[in-house]
Amino acid sequence: MKFSLTKNKKVEFGITFYQIKAEEDGKFAKKGELGGWLEKKENLDMSGNAWVYGNARVYGNAWVSDDAKVSGNARVYGNAWVSDNAKVFEDAWVSGNAKVTGDAKVSGNAWVYGNSMVYGNAWVHGNSMVYGNAWVYGDSVVSGNAKVTGDARVSGKLKLTLGYFFGMRYNNEEIKEFKQKDGEVILHKGDSEIEFYDDEVKEEIEDDIITLNGKKYKLVDNK
């Protein structure tokens, strides 16, 4: 048996959590080492190397498996899955039917929920949110206050740090929509990065600049 539920318990959100203890040496914990908190044994795969650390809590029908790690003050709940080599840490939440897999990371105050997926080498952090049916994958980074929702597909090396991001397809070519809180929209194609400029930009690159309410943004392809 990889782990057991100890008699150490606490009640949060109306749920009783039990601290886990390693019952054998594993990749991430030595025998006798205390870990994080589960509502029930079924929240952590008894096979594989997956582990829950610190004050992290896993509850509901959520499941952590394979070589995944959940640590810090993170919460994984609902029907969420964290698997493969994925990491959920700091104050991040993963909930609903969301899946975090591959080598993906979710950290900071980020929240991944709904039917969304974060996988590959993607990293979601800061105060960002990924929800709805959105997918974030490849080497994408979603951070700051960015929100990825709807049927968005954020892939390649796209970096988003502010605003709202929605996805759509036209003639099999993905069209990305970058939507500000004021309702302004940038539409673009391919793997791109939106960079904010406080100062005036040079005339020779003015064609690459989109101005929204007096703020300038440059749309560039990632190399």
Band (179; pLDDT cuts 50, 70, 90): low
Question: Does the structure show a pLDDT above 70 at 49?
Answer: yes
Tell me, what amino acid is at 114?
A: G
Q: Is 115 left (phi over 0), alpha (psi -120 to 50) or beta?
A: alpha
CATH, residue 118: 2.160.10.10
Band (123; pLDDT cuts 50, 70, 90): very high
For the chain, the average pLDDT equals 79
Domain range spanning residue 36?
3-221
Q: How many domains are there within the chain?
A: 1
181, with CB counted inside 10 A (0-12, 13-18, 19+), is exposed
105, with CB counted inside 10 A (0-12, 13-18, 19+), is buried
pTM of the model: 0.76
Nearest-angstrom CA–CA distance, 157 and 189: 13
Nearest-angstrom CA–CA distance, 153 and 16: 37
